[in-house]
Structure 1
Amino acid sequence: MDNRPACNAYSVYSTHLFVFNQVSLSAMSQNAFEQLGLTPRETLLYQTLLKLGPSSIRDIAEHSGVNRGSAYESLKQLQSKGVVSYFPKGKRRFFSAESPDILLDLAEEKRQRLDKTIESLKNTIIPNLHQQQPDYHQTNVRYYEGDDGIEWVLRDILNVVSDQDHKEYCVFSSKPIRPYLYRPFPNYTKQRIKLGINVKVIALGDGGEDAELSERKWIKTEGAVDASYIAIYPPKCAIISLASNNFPSAVVLESQDIAKAQQIIFDTLWKML
């Protein structure tokens, strides 16, 4: 016959139930706690205190499974963040969890700090960093391959041009490239029109679709034309071509000087056609 008091069995059961609920909540919410600056251990101790109520470091360590030294250091961090408070009780120090509503206050404070940081970046820090750059212009060159790479380039064109006051870019395009160009981004033209972006196209060879917010002129060619597509969207130029087995590849040059030179060539040729 088991002569142990019934309350011990209940205590064991309630402890296990608490641990289960605690782990479940941590699994669902740890990312949110981390965004607020709380470590997994701090989150565990906060949840432990919410369950226990005001408790000594000994009880907190016992129920959380964290050793006393580590628990005490983490509780001091929680206290500095305003999530936990303490009060003396006899010769011992008892800790107490603040209401969960404090988490919203932490989030709001963090959002306000982030807003101020963004404002400072826009108005002061980034302009000052630009001024520290040397006068000469470096060319940033990036290479992309496959459908994913081509889609990235097309999206980059839309992103860059949509942020400009004069929403327009220019293109040299040959007929063989067209079946492969928009394959990874079939609604590209719709997105361009939706963003109010104009495009001027000098087509090498026949073909090409008519679409809103676009102008097209042609250069007649004799014989076969290689697959190529050159987009001029200052401060960048993108060159897309087909390698063996019609494998698409692209090079993006980021240089204000190169983009301006290409724009002059395009504009001069456009007037002549």
Structure 2
Amino acid sequence: MDDQIFAQLGLDIRAVSIYRSLLSLGPSPIRTIAERSGVNRGTTYDLLKQMQQQGIVAYLPKGKRRYFSAREPEVLLQLAEERKTQLDQTISQLKTRIIPELHHLKPDFSAANVQFYEGDAGIEQVLRDILSQVSQQDDKQYRVFSSKPIRPLLYRPFPTFTAQRIQRGIHVRVIAIGDGGESAELSERKWIKTEGPVDAAYIAIYPPRCAIISLASDNYPTAVVIDSQEVAMAQKIIFDTLWGYI
């Protein structure tokens, strides 16, 4: 766990070993630091230069030699806060400028607007996309057609989906095909009664996208996501009209 924390600060296990060695040694030359940390001398020198640029270590010239010393551990928190600020700025630029500019490069419709997913990992990607897209909209609501056979398998790869949906304040309306299914918080459900078995299918409508999830043989899930405002809005009209009649 500590290795992951340091890695997020841009420090690999060798750099951490050098930093820990410096804390215990005090001001020391490269050779001594390399021997204590177990990192070869050339790599130690390169990492010390990198850590100096990050503000984690400092050096003091003594004659023709450099003696390096570690700054107080609180500097790591400062480094993390700087990275967080940079990341927040990056997210803001992505949302307000870069992503809209990249979208303008796309044609109105192409093969790239239809994406295919399969397996549990693919279905998880689709479910996460639903949460991501809807949470950015003013009207945080999406619509779903769902049949009974797919329900036990749908959230298998993402068991916290409903909890995360509720946490983000996202509403959902569900038209259930066949019996079964229960309403959860921030959800409404209506049923279309059928006779006999129904095929496994789940259609999520979250303009500008529409996701269609079904089961192949051996309950292997597959999905198609259509990124088209026109298609999604047409499906939304169909859903809302049917919702009013049930």
TM-score of the superposed pair, with normalisation by structure 1: 0.67
Match of residue 151, structure 2, among 170, 175, 181:
181
Match of 1:142 among 116, 122, 137: 116
Larger-gyration structure (1/2) = 1
Structure 2 SS opposite 1:73: helix
Task: Name the amino acid aligned to 2:115.
Answer: V
The structural deviation recorded for 1:251 is 3.4
**Structure-2 residue corresponding to 1:233:** 206
What's the secondary structure of 1:55's corresponding residue?
coil
Give 1:76's aligned residue: 49
CA offsets per residue over residues 78-133 of structure 1, 9 Å max, x none? Answer: 22222222223234332222222222222222222222222222222222222232
* Matched positions, count: 239
CA contact (8 A) 1:142 1:253 kept: no
Give the Å deviation of 1:190.
8.0
Percent of matched pairs sharing the same residue: 52
**Preserved contact between residue 160 and residue 233 of structure 1 (Cα < 8 Å):** yes
Q: Which residue of the other structure, out of 127, 145, 150, is the alignment partner of 2:100?
A: 127
Is the CA contact 1:167–1:197 (under 8 Å) kept in the aligned structure 2?
yes
TM-aligned CA distance change 1:170 to 1:38, over 3 Å: closer
Describe the superposition over 1:225-272 as per-residue Cα deviations: whole angstroms up to 9, x where unpaired: 545443333223333445456665543333222222323444455567
Q: What is the Cα deviation at residue 196 of structure 1?
A: 5.4
The answer for unaligned runs of 5 or more in structure 2 is none
Q: 1:228 to 1:118 in 2, by over 3 A?
A: closer
8 Å CA contact 1:57–1:72 kept in 2: the answer is yes
Q: Do the aligned partners of 1:144 and 1:249 also contact (CA within 8 Å) in 2?
A: yes
- Alignment map for 1:93-132 (pairs within 5 Å): 93-132=66-105
**Aligned letter for 2:207?**
P
1:179-238 deviations in Å (ceiling 9; x for gaps): 5414554997787677451415274xx6456747536364777x7654544333322333
The one-letter code matched in structure 1 to 2:27 is P
Change (3 A) 1:145 1:120: closer
Alignment CA distance shift 1:74-1:254 (3 Å): same
Unaligned runs of 5+ in 1: 1-27
**Structure 1 pair 34/235, CA: closer, same or farther in 2 (3 Å)?**
same
Query: What SS class does the counterpart of residue 190 from structure 2 fall into?
Result: strand
Q: How does the TM-score come out when normalised to structure 2? A: 0.72
- Give the direction of change, closer, same or farther, for the CA distance of 1:179–1:50 in structure 2 (3 Å limit): same
Q: Is the 8 A contact 2:173 2:189 kept in 1?
A: yes
**Partner residue in 1 for 2:34:** 61
Answer with 186-195 or 50-59: which moved more.
186-195
